[in-house]
Structure 1
Amino acid sequence: MRAWDNRQNVRRWTYDVLTRPTHAYLKHAADPEVLQQRIVYGESLGVSADVTNHLGQVYRVYDSAGVLTTTTASSPPTSSPTPTATVRPSPSTPSAW
């Protein structure tokens, strides 16, 4: 999907086969397109996704604030994943997700 505004910003999103958002991009005027956010779902973990209760859940989010990873290894299957770690990138270096 693609959207644009009167500030010459063009936003683009990509989705997985289950129509969940996976990537968000931003392009301003003549600047190159930049990846703003990437979402990784539990199914990409393979067999361990069932053990850690990540099936159908967000496992990791990459964005301009850093990386947020959720774990549920000790949680019962009915609970939601809980955030465990946020890694913030250095302000002087651009994110390279």
Structure 2
Amino acid sequence: MNNQTTQRLAPGTRVRHTAQEWATSVQAPEGTAPIVKALREHNDGSIDYQVLAGEEFSRRIGPDNPMTKPDEWNSTRIKVVAPPTAETRAAAEAVAKEQR
């Protein structure tokens, strides 16, 4: 199954990684990572994104596993869960600004 998106995703968009089969709409209704920014586009049209993932990839997101770990996920391996909100967009922009 190809989950590749054809449009660039906005900062703050909530996603989950396709390898996180446990991350259902019940277990992770808000996804497991917000998009921080697009990093690079490949010849096949896929895009690498910087995301803020949970500290432990295989565990449910929560107070003991916050979404604070910068990681890179390719668009072929993500599923969009929710569009950006003002809160997630602001958080993504703050992280991107810190990296400049």
Q: Per the shorter chain, which TM-score range?
A: under 0.3
TM-score (norm 2): 0.26
Structure holding more strand per residue: 1
Q: Which has the higher helix share?
A: 2
Alignment TM-score, normalising by the size of structure 1: 0.27
* Larger relative contact order (Cα-Cα within 8 Å, sequence gap ≥ 6): 2
Looking at CA atoms only, which structure, 1 or 2, has the larger radius of gyration? 1
